[in-house]
Amino acid sequence: MNLHSSNIQVTYDFICPWCWIGEENLERALAASGFTTDRQVTFLPYQLNPDMPAQGMDRKAYRSGKFGSWARSQAMDAQVTHAGKAVGLEFDYERVEKTPNTLAGHRLVWREQQAGRDACVLVKAIFKAYFGEGRDIGDLNVLADIAAETGQDRRATVDFLNTDEGTAEVLKLEAKTKASGVRSVPNIQIAEDVITGAQPTEIMIQILRRSQAA
């Protein structure tokens, strides 16, 4: 069965662990439903911390301030780690030292989609690099390494990241998304149905089948 994947839009941010889980559940749902897609799923940027300094912040200090204590942050990390393990994703928060600025990562995904390429591999690689390996995905050289690991030309990626190309476009997409009413991520739209949060694969399968029937 074919579902035109321009009807699937994923609004996300790279510092959102539930976005990694939600993307994994969507991928599993597509496979389990027997759907094929003739174009890539569209990823829409949504920075949870748009005012984050370009160099990022110490994660312990930032999260302690945001959630009131480091103990509360660790409890939340444990919850998401358990949820990730249930779908085969390995979170290793012990290795995550920074909360990064994610604009450059969103620009890389924008570039992939502008070129008509499937951005899923890159998106998954950046998520894994951050949550599973503790790499600083706000660092341009680290992003270039990750892109190279997915088969992209590293020098071309560095050259791109060292310009402002894609910045205005990403911010415009983000503003448009917020204006449409999106207030949290992940937010997955399949045709006319909207899934908020990292819903189970089974729910996504039901919505995919309903969209196909419609």
Could you tell me the residue ranges of all domains in the chain? Answer: 5-213
119 has pLDDT over 60: yes
Give 39's pLDDT tier (boundaries 50, 70, 90). low
DSSP codes of every residue in 53-102 = -TT-EEHHHHHHHHHS-HHHHHHHHHHHHHHHHHTT----GGG--EE---
Q: What is the model's pTM?
A: 0.94
pLDDT tens-digit map of 5-29: 457 999 999 999 999 999 999 999 9
Answer whether 30's CB lies under 8 Å from 188's CB: no
Percentage, residues of the chain above pLDDT 90: 85
Q: How far apart are CA 177 and CA 183, in angstroms?
A: 9
Assigned superfamily of 5-213: Glutaredoxin (3.40.30.10)
Structure tokens at 70: 């480091």
Mean of the per-residue pLDDT values of the chain: 93
Checking if the pLDDT of 139 tops 90, the result is yes
Closest CA to 119 of 19, 180, 42: 42
- Cα 210 to its chain centre, rounded Å, is 25
How far apart are alpha carbons 92 and 127 in whole angstroms? 12
Beta bridge partners of 188: 10, 195
Number of H helices, E strands in the chain: 9, 6
Instruction: State the Cα–Cα distance between residues 106 and 83, nearest whole angstrom.
Output: 25
The predicted-structure confidence for 95-108, as pLDDT tens digits, reads as follows: 999 999 999 999 99
Dihedral over Cα of 172, 173, 179, 184: its sign: negative
Give the dihedral sign, CA 179/183/186/188: negative
